[in-house]
Structure 1
């Protein structure tokens, strides 16, 4: 009887500890909105003032536009957009397969994944592409992308101070 009680007690303790640890493991995988905002600001903030101005966002979008415009014609076609998304999917699949392999192969897959990672450009999804394509010609011009990114900036700048910062991501605005 004593052994059963001991085993039952140890099992209950193990279940309790596992239950307490599970939320902390889950929290690592999912970023909070504040963490996502902080990461976005760090990525776009070129002058290190912890704020993103419209000029900083537009400069980032211009660089991203060039990455998507693979044929250099000044337009991003739906095919170029799809090719970029597919290249990322393929690189992500290769990375998933290479995670458990040796260092060189894993490092090469990670480098390919980082290289193929799609940059942020308005119109990445097919429905958004049609919405951003203001003239309806089936491709996005630099002006269309700049216009869409300005609208996106204004939506993110919740307090209307002309910059995106941590205050724009609080729920009190």
Structure 2
């Protein structure tokens, strides 16, 4: 049972981290975004205006009816497209035997398992090998605090 829970935690952590990475990269339909894309005038610097233009372009791309607003349906469609692109990249990257499917072994590369174990240990602040509800809540609050720190000031 303990091994099953740990394996589930590893998989959930990998998915959450990977999903967060895709969101953080902010690419069009989940595609990674690079410095050159954001530096639209190729001057070697990214300005606030270039970042705002990128945001406006993403808004326009998701606003399929062009009315200047995003509906729930438009947001869901944009999210579904990003999820499809992410899933394709994940299979492409991890499918070692090229069968179009990911096995538990392919998902649990050694470095991922080590990172997941370190994350677990960070949350398990009393070091007893389990995560209490209080430890879980503290980790979630800490994560929310980090997101707020990284969010751009308006």
Output the TM-score relative to the length of structure 1. Answer: 0.32
Task: Give the strand-richer structure, 1 or 2.
Answer: 1
Tell me which of the two structures has the higher relative contact order, counting C-alpha pairs closer than 8 angstroms and 6 or more residues apart: 1
Structure of greater Rg: 1
Output the TM-score relative to the length of structure 2. Answer: 0.35
